[in-house]
Amino acid sequence: MSTAVSPLAVPFPDMPPIAGVAFATAAAGIKYSDRRDVFLALFQPGTTVAGVFTRSKCPSAPVDWCRAALAGGSARALVVNSGNANAFTGRKGRATTEAQAALASAAAGCRPNEVFIASTGVIGEPLDPAKFAAVLPDAASRVAEGPWIDAARAIMTTDTFPKGATRTVTIGGVPVTINGIAKGAGMIAPDMATMLSFVATDAAIAAPALQALLSQGVQHSFNAVTVDSDTSTSDTLLLFATGRAAGAPAITDPTDPRLEAFRVALDEVLTDLAIQVARDGEGARKLLEVHVTGAASDESAKRVALSIANSPLVKTAAAGEDANWGRVVMAVGKAGEPADRDRLSIYFGDIRVAHEGERDPAYSEALASAYMKNDVIVIRADLALGNGKARVWTCDLTKEYVAINGDYRS
């Protein structure tokens, strides 16, 4: 496994405490030695929760657990581990989630269905609940309001840098903060992936409203990122609202106008984290931002954008710094969406390389090649059919991706 940090890494931000959230990390020795691999967060009573999960038909045991627990709308504890996904582990897997919930509910003094669980790592290996029994009580005795970078590090698998984002805005004049962490970095595809992200705020928002905000926010952030088109069994995005910001108004309606800044900030946190996941795509050397404009609809634009972003030929061309727009045409064509070859234009950055069905007469190969040397490459396809548009992010496909995934288990 590679140990070099992605050249696209961004610094971890300064993240302030969130009133009502305390956490600790621990080294349970689940797979990795010499590192902390468990993250335990405790939430004050009254914390609401929302979640979005993988669409896999073979979800992990923790995903099943969280989906069921979410119905209660209340959260008091979160237990996350890296190194083992507790997926495709049958009855043993369900027993492990029950044991994790029992341990955490004892520590937090809450009901088991107020405990949320996420696991990431190898699929199909039993996850021993004794590993949690050995560390959770002690971790619960050590919880503190920071540092968030420790939590971000504890949930990493093949990630090469910890991922965090934070925003502070006001709701009804009261400052509230949103902190989020995430891990990638392979098996990342729309509708989530082995992507775990945990976001907490001290705003006071009822669970149904929180869910509405999250479900909407995920569409243009985590659901617009793909690394390799593979969808994990374990994708989990949870949003916790403690309501502990002093004086924060209690919001129950997701369309409440007082939420305007909060909604924008939440979307920014989610998008920031999602792009960091693409920046840390396995083996990534370049971040690709794919814009599709002029599509028949926004939905059509997104399918075309994902077809481009998931194309191995587009991604390897980017790795080779090759302005191979013909492959972008191919990817537009294979999407199966309305497209007219003879109206299509393709841009790399501001350079229009193809226009109305053929190479742009003014196209400079030298300029386009120079552009491809950038770390961040914007590819735009304008279909010139309608007003639909979409933006998705991915990374290039390098030999390092193959190396990382060719010997992940060994």
Residues in binding site for substrate: 157, 183, 194, 282, 405, 410
- Cβ burial, residue 358 (10 Å; 0-12/13-18/19+): exposed
- Kindly tell me which residue out of 168, 216, 297, 316 binds a copy of itself, with binding defined by CB under 8 A: 316
How many whole angstroms separate alpha carbon 201 and alpha carbon 120? Answer: 23
Q: Hey, which residues between 181 and 210 contact a copy of itself (CB under 8 A)? A: 186-187, 189
- Is 158 known to be catalytic? no
The residue (of 44 and 56) whose beta carbon lies closer to a copy of itself is 56
State in angstroms the smallest separation of the CB of 228 from a copy of itself: 4
Q: According to the binding rule CB under 8 A, does residue 313 interact with a copy of itself?
A: yes
| Site stretch for a copy of itself (CB under 8 A), options 44-52, 109-117, 134-142, 314-322 | 314-322
Q: Hey, which residues between 38 and 67 contact a copy of itself (CB under 8 A)? A: 54-59
**Degrees (nearest 5) of the Cα angle 120, 121, 124?**
110
C-alpha radius of gyration, the chain, whole number: 22
State in angstroms the smallest separation of the CB of 249 from a copy of itself: 41
- Kindly tell me which residue out of 20, 93, 184, 294 binds a copy of itself, with binding defined by CB under 8 A: 93
Pairing of strands 351-355, 345-348: antiparallel
Query: How many other C-beta atoms can be found within 10 angstroms of the C-beta atom of residue 130?
Result: 10
Q: According to the binding rule CB under 8 A, does residue 401 interact with a copy of itself?
A: yes
Q: Hey, which residues between 224 and 243 contact a copy of itself (CB under 8 A)? A: 228-233
Whether the CA torsion 212, 218, 220, 221 is positive or negative: it is: positive
Amino acid at 271: T
Instruction: Give the list of residues 6+ apart from residue 141 with CB closer than 8 angstroms, or none.
Output: none
Pairing of strands 287-295, 376-382: parallel
State in angstroms the smallest separation of the CB of 113 from a copy of itself: 22
State in angstroms the smallest separation of the CB of 227 from a copy of itself: 9
Q: According to the binding rule CB under 8 A, does residue 179 interact with a copy of itself?
A: no
State in angstroms the smallest separation of the CB of 179 from a copy of itself: 30
Q: According to the binding rule CB under 8 A, does residue 149 interact with a copy of itself?
A: no
Amino acid at 77: A
The residue (of 233 and 276) whose beta carbon lies closer to a copy of itself is 233
Question: Which residue out of 47, 158, 194, 242 is catalytically annotated?
Answer: 194
- Kindly tell me which residue out of 260, 312, 362, 387 binds a copy of itself, with binding defined by CB under 8 A: 312
Q: Hey, which residues between 333 and 352 contact a copy of itself (CB under 8 A)? A: 333-339, 341-342, 344
Q: Which of 82, 72, 162, 153 is nearest to 112 (CA)?
A: 72
- Kindly tell me which residue out of 2, 7, 68, 126 binds a copy of itself, with binding defined by CB under 8 A: 126
- Cβ burial, residue 13 (10 Å; 0-12/13-18/19+): middle
The residue (of 111 and 334) whose beta carbon lies closer to a copy of itself is 334
State in angstroms the smallest separation of the CB of 296 from a copy of itself: 11
| Site stretch for a copy of itself (CB under 8 A), options 24-32, 238-246, 248-256, 311-319 | 311-319
Write the DSSP string, 339-370: --GGG-EEEETTEEEEETTEE-TT--HHHHHH
In angstroms, how far is CA 145 from the centroid of its own chain? Answer: 23
Instruction: Give the list of residues 6+ apart from residue 11 with CB closer than 8 angstroms, or none.
Output: none
Q: According to the binding rule CB under 8 A, does residue 311 interact with a copy of itself?
A: yes
- H-helix or E-strand containing 106? helix 90-108
The residue (of 54 and 242) whose beta carbon lies closer to a copy of itself is 54
Catalytic residue list:
194
